[in-house]
Structure 1
């Protein structure tokens, strides 16, 4: 059944404010919840944070008082939504357990987007990035075993494998090689715009999380690993945000943000296994339909176009969290030795890449390598979770 969010009526804005009792959501059970329920929660938290920050940045540049007031109204509701969503995560989880959940999101959400993306250049951007998040999951899983004496399979279940991807130490590139070509706003498929906005938001959330929680650890290896991967997440945000056409007007970006929230809440409402969480997705969808109506009216008034010229007339197929093991193994077998050069990709460690590697590492073994060695020394072997077959051998060729 098709669903056109531009034609649906949501909850009127003046009825969307919730009291403390309504915001006091029951967190999921960390021991029995579907791991993909946690992934959906983490994803929507990132989407809501991006919506809030985009609204703030837009308001700082908008001279129209009436528009700024309307955006303040919707932004307050978005902030309540973010609190309700993020507070679904259980307080019993350690920072590392939440981190592993973040990386499971990065792996399976980005892999799904890569599979569904119709534009070959954009697809390559997601394929490139997911092999790095895959390796981050492996590094954090070893840190988790080393300092909390637990195994990541407790968190990811058997849904996502934990094994090496593109080695984390190879992710450090010269900043100019993290900037991609952007899609053409007038030619790109509507789903391509939603994909770019979704993955950018998810990676931005991860970057913010790591830069804040990293120094809260006492263990030197944990502090150093968060610092290292936190810098790579900055590279990833640069990588993904550069895919978005900077020629989109503020009104067009606002429309895309609100449409994407409707798309994702509808997707997760359709696929959620937890009835209580599903009810929150449905409530938030009905709120976002009104936010989208407001954004569409502003778009018509200030941009002079119809929203149907920018967004899809019906929602695309639902975003789905599902195992991507075979797809990821294929990428590992064929793209493990990729790096970037300018806005493209190469399979050779070119001169600028090598110079930057020497500069950032300076003959010091990075934490991402040491965490594996130290866990192997303490636990007898490194931690992996391989559910089928054997892991392809890989190497990054140097010239």
Structure 2
């Protein structure tokens, strides 16, 4: 069934503020939940954080006091939504368990978007990034067994493989080589705009998470690994945010944000297996329909355009969390040795890449390599989860 959020009525804004009892959501049970329910929660937390921060940035650039008041009213309910979503995560989960779930999100969300992306240049951007998040999952899984003596299998539940991707040490590039060419807002498929905003928001939340939780560990190797991967997440945010056309007006961006939230809440409501979580997705969708209506009115008044000029006439196919094992193995076989040069990709290390590698890795090697070495010392092996019968993964070329 098609769903056009522009033709739907949501909950009036003056009825959206929830009291403390309504905000006191019951967290998921990490031992009995579908891992993809946890992935959907983490994704929507990132989406809501982006919505709140974008609204703040827009308000800081807006001279119209009435518009600021409208943004503030919507933003407050967005902030309540973010609290309700993020508080679904259980307090019993450790930071590392949540970290592994964050990387499962990055792997399977980005892989699905890469599979569905209609623009070849944008598709390549997602294919490139997912091989790096895939390797981060592998590094954190080894750290998890070292520190907590537990296995990542209990978190990812065989839905996502845990094994090396593009080595994390090879992710450190000259900052200029992390900037991609943007899509053309006047010609790109509306689905491409949703993809770019979704992945940017998810990576941004991962970056924020690592920046804050990294120093909470006492173990030096854990502190150092979070520091290293946290810097790479900053590179990833640069990589993905540069895909968005900077010519989009504030009003256009606001409408895209609200439309994307409708798309994701609708998608997750359609596939959610947990009844209590599904009810939250449905509630938030009905709130976002009103937020979208308000954003569209603002665009008409201040931008002089109809939202139909930039939005899809109906929501695209449901964004789905599902295994992407063979797809990622194919990417590993074909693209493992890629790096970036300018706005494009090359297979050979170049001067700027080598200079950055030398500057960062010249004294003792990166934490991402040392965590594997220390794990092997402790257990006489590395930690992996590989599917039976899958085609083998090639060894990485020696340049890294």
User: For the superposition of Structure 1 and Structure 2, which TM-score range results when normalised by the shorter chain?
Assistant: over 0.9
**3-state DSSP of counterpart to 1:6:** helix
1:358 match: 358
Contact 1:35 1:155 in 2 (8 A): yes
2:393 match: 392
Separation in 1, partners of 2:46, 2:398: 36
Deviations 1:194-239 (A, max 9, x none): 0000000000000000011001100000000000000000000000
Matched, 1:341 2:360: no
Contact 1:28 1:88 in 2 (8 A): yes
Contact 2:329 2:391 in 1 (8 A): no
TM-superposed deviation, 1:387:
1.2
RMSD in angstroms over aligned alpha carbons? 0.9
TM-superposed deviation, 1:351:
1.4
Contact 2:81 2:284 in 1 (8 A): yes
Q: How many residues align?
A: 399
Greater than 3 Å deviation, 4+ residue runs: 396-399
Q: How does 1:1-399 map to 2 (within 5 A)?
A: 1-388=1-388, 389=390, 391-396=392-397, 398=399
**3-state DSSP of counterpart to 1:340:** strand
| TM-score computed with the length of structure 1 as normaliser | 0.99
TM-superposed deviation, 1:352:
1.2
Deviations 1:56-93 (A, max 9, x none): 00000101111000000000000000000000000000
Deviations 1:297-326 (A, max 9, x none): 001111111100001010000100000000
Separation in 2, partners of 1:364, 1:293: 55
Unaligned runs of 5+ in 1: none
Contact 1:350 1:398 in 2 (8 A): no
Unaligned runs of 5+ in 2: none
Separation in 1, partners of 2:396, 2:133: 17
| TM-score computed with the length of structure 2 as normaliser | 0.99
